[in-house]
Structure 1
Amino acid sequence: MIDFQKNAVFKLTPARVENVGPEVAPLIIPGEQIVLAFKTVRDFVVFTTKRLIAVNVQGMTGKKRDFTSLPYSKIQAFSIETAGTFDLDAELDLWFSGLGMVRLEFRGGADIRQIGHLVATHAL
């Protein structure tokens, strides 16, 4: 799902944590909690108290899944861009040590300031 060479953009809308939580539950470690969830048509991103988990649903049936775990401790810098009058999308850019930049684009009323605060709380 995340291509560090192309600075890929994913257009995400808010999702209910209880709807996607069971998908990533086996990856959650003791003391870690799911805080926010966002989805595309098939893929989704979960923000926990320790990391960002990106899930790429693959294949025709969607049974094959790629899970990418990006710990906040590896974030070197990040930026948020709020939605505007004509540009209704908000963006989060994350620079990961040794990996590169990931850009996530949010639609559908996502609170980018809340997301930025979550990243700041756990990365700084």
Structure 2
Amino acid sequence: MIDFENPQFIRLKQTDNDTYEKLLLPLLIDGEDIVSTYQGTRDGIVFTNKRIIAINIQGITGKKKDITSMPYSKIQTYSVETSGVFDLDAELSLYFSTIGKIRFEFSGSCDMARICRIISNYVL
């Protein structure tokens, strides 16, 4: 399981959906599509139409990867803190019935309204 308090797993920026496609294609189920992808220094998260997938690249070489699947059906609530004048990062907190609170930090240039629409579309 990914340590979501790891400071390397913050300040995610939107990236091309094909960034993790090769890694994740064998794990996706029939009818599951990548909707949006965000990457930090090495780690990332992928929103699909079924779940959120967190990818933690481990070790010096990066060959070891920890992948955590978090289905939308387990999200009880979420909150968003948008970026401000002096705090340029935005935060997304998700509350899962099975694992508790998970927090992601995005760069201020990320479209947080879009992220909320993605989550709401599959949770509500």
Structure 2 unpaired stretches of 5+: none
Q: Give the distance between the partners of 1:23 and 1:110, measured in 2 at CA.
A: 23
Moved over 6 A (4+): none
**Relative contact order higher in (CA < 8 Å, ≥ 6 apart):** 1
Q: Give the distance between the partners of 1:84 and 1:116, measured in 2 at CA.
A: 18
Match of 1:94 in 2: 94
Match of 2:3 in 1: 3
What root-mean-square deviation, in Å, do the aligned CA atoms of Structure 1 and Structure 2 show? 1.8
Q: Supply the AA of the counterpart residue of 1:31.
A: G
Percentage of matched positions with identical amino acids: 49
Q: How does 1:1-124 map to 2 (within 5 A)?
A: 2-3=2-3, 10-124=10-124
Q: Supply the AA of the counterpart residue of 1:28.
A: L
Alignment TM-score, normalising by the size of structure 2: 0.91
How many residues get paired?
Answer: 123
Q: Give the distance between the partners of 1:108 and 1:21, measured in 2 at CA.
A: 25
Q: Supply the AA of the counterpart residue of 1:109.
A: S
Q: Give the distance between the partners of 1:63 and 1:103, measured in 2 at CA.
A: 25
- The residue matched to 2:12 in structure 1 has which SS? strand
- The residue matched to 2:20 in structure 1 has which SS? helix
Deviation at 1:95, TM superposition (A): 0.1
2:12 and 2:44 in contact (8 A); partners too: yes
- The residue matched to 2:115 in structure 1 has which SS? helix
Q: Give the distance between the partners of 2:97 and 2:20, measured in 1 at CA.
A: 27
Q: Give the distance between the partners of 1:41 and 1:118, measured in 2 at CA.
A: 23
Structure 1 unpaired stretches of 5+: none
Deviation at 1:59, TM superposition (A): 1.1
